[in-house]
Structures are given as structure tokens and as C-alpha cells.
Amino acid sequence: MVNYPVLTDIQQDELPALTKPAQTMSAKFEDSTHQLWHCETVKGSKILKVCNHDNIKGSSFWQGMNNLFDARFPDSLGHIEQIYRLLSEHSPLTIPKPSAYQSSVFVLSDYLLGQEVDASTITDEMVKPLAEHIAALHQAQQNKWGAIHHGSFYAQDWSPRLYATLVSLLEAQSFDLSNNIITQILEQAKQISVSQFVPVMMDLRWDQFLHQQGQLSAVVDLDAFVYAPQELELVMLEYLLTSDQCKLFIDNYIRYLPLATIDTVRQPYRLLLFLMNMLGETDLDLWLNAPIRF
């Protein structure tokens, strides 16, 4: 009998039998949330993701997620099917279906065909489906926010929780809260008013998607979806898209929804993303002064 790696006998007792030993998949980053294996089973190809608790403890990303959104990661792995259902209902992209999962431990999902998207070779055929995917999710609006499985915060909670999370992350990373720029941004965070919230991928990066023959085809990581302001995702996109790609994104996005204005929220949201180590930038001034795309 071939066993699943890492998992105990009890944990893998009800999983589909492996037809050959699982193949280790390289982690994208040293502090990746999961260890990954490609598994051939009697029920088809699967991906096994086993939670790396040591990396999570030191992760500024998950500190931000748990502080702001009450994501309760990694316990939230036990609710991955709820996220799958939400995305499958709204997104035009393929979503990996979970076969089995255990809170705080692992997720076994369907293996999806396709190649990982390389951020250095983005084409129009990738930007257009991305815009359609994000616009589709942004149409799933509601007046509460937080984790997908228990989003229970009200609109008036957003600004104070954002402010408190920014302060907590700044202190944890030893930033000077009396710095003029930081003080100004914190004051802006206090003034943000939001009424509607949508599904947002807080770890939005090109390598979270697959393509087939150059056409964006699938989302592969569901861990960090939450209900949040749509403006937050637009701020993320300013870091992922060139000016020309942004124009193409807007042209396709506004076929479904008007584009939200982000001028008054850009800096607080940029600071949040920096402190959550969205793309690994270490120079705050450089990050805050990135080109304005929307």
C-alpha cells in the first residue's frame, strides 16, 4: 500500500488510494503556507496541500488576514468547500474542487491542467479573463465582510478594524508610528467609508492562476479569499498590471460594473498590502509611490 506523505493513518484513512508515490512539488517561496504534492489516485490526479504551521506563525500576511478579517487561518481550511462553491458559482475560471480536507491540517483538491502564469509574459488573453473573473466576483456584493465562512462584520467596522490592524502590523515590524507619512495614512484610514463588500483574493498574484495555450483558465489557490471592499483589489492590481494592461482591464471590467474610485483609499490600502508582504517589497517609500494606474 502506498501512503500519503506527512499525514497520519487516521487522516488519510478515507482519502482515495494512491496508485503510486506522491511527487513533491517545489514551494514558490521559502515561507510558503503549504507543502505540496502531486498525487495520482484511483479517483484521478489530485494536489495535496499540507499546512506548514511554523511558516504561518511568522507570516505577516496571515497576521494581517487574521487580525483584519478574522480569517482564523489555518482553522479555515475546514471551510474550503464553501469558498469553492462561492467562486464556482460566480467566476468564469475553473476552480479546483476539494476532495477532502481537515481543519488546520490539509486540503486534497482536483489537479487542474494548465501552466502557471509567468508575470513577465502576460498577454491580452490573460488580462481580459482576469478582468471578467474579478468583475464577476465583484458583482457578488453584500453588506457584511470578513471571512467567507463567517463574514459577520458590518460596514461601520471596516475603518476601525483597518486602523487597528495597520497599527498592530506597524508595531510588530518596528515602524515609527510618529513618521509623518505613516501618521497621515493612519488618519486617512480612519476616514474610509464602505457600504458594500465583495469576494477578494488577498494574495492576488499572477502565479495563483493557470493558463492553457496562453488563455487564462483557472485559479489554483483559495485560502485567502475574503469579503472586502472592491477598491482593495483594484489597489492590488496597480502593482500587477502595466498602464496598457490596466486600460485593457478597465475596458473589460466596465462591461459588467462601473470602476470604483480609489484615490482616497489608495495609500491606506497600499500600506496594508506592504505590511502584509504582498509582493516582497522592502522599501516603503518605493511601494507607496508606485505608479497610479486607476
Is residue 70 assigned to a domain? no
**157, 161, 166, 173: which is closest to 270 by C-alpha?**
166
C-alpha grid cell, residue 117: 502564469
Residue 164 maps to which CATH number?
3.90.1200.10
Is residue 223 assigned to a domain? yes
Q: Which amino acid is at 136?
A: A
pTM here?
0.96
- Full residue range of the structural domain in which residue 228 is found: 115-288
Q: What is the pLDDT of residue 30?
A: 60
Is residue 222 assigned to a domain? yes
Is residue 202 assigned to a domain? yes
Is residue 7 assigned to a domain? no
Is residue 240 assigned to a domain? yes
Q: What is the pLDDT of residue 31?
A: 60
What's the structural domain count of the chain?
1
C-alpha grid cell, residue 48: 495535496
Is residue 12 assigned to a domain? no
Mean pLDDT by 10 residues, the chain (294 residues): 92 94 82 88 97 88 96 92 97 97 95 94 96 98 94 94 98 96 98 97 96 95 96 98 97 97 98 96 97 96
Q: What is the pLDDT of residue 32?
A: 77
Give the contacts of 72 (CB within 8 A, at least 6 positions apart): 66, 147, 150
Is residue 86 assigned to a domain? no
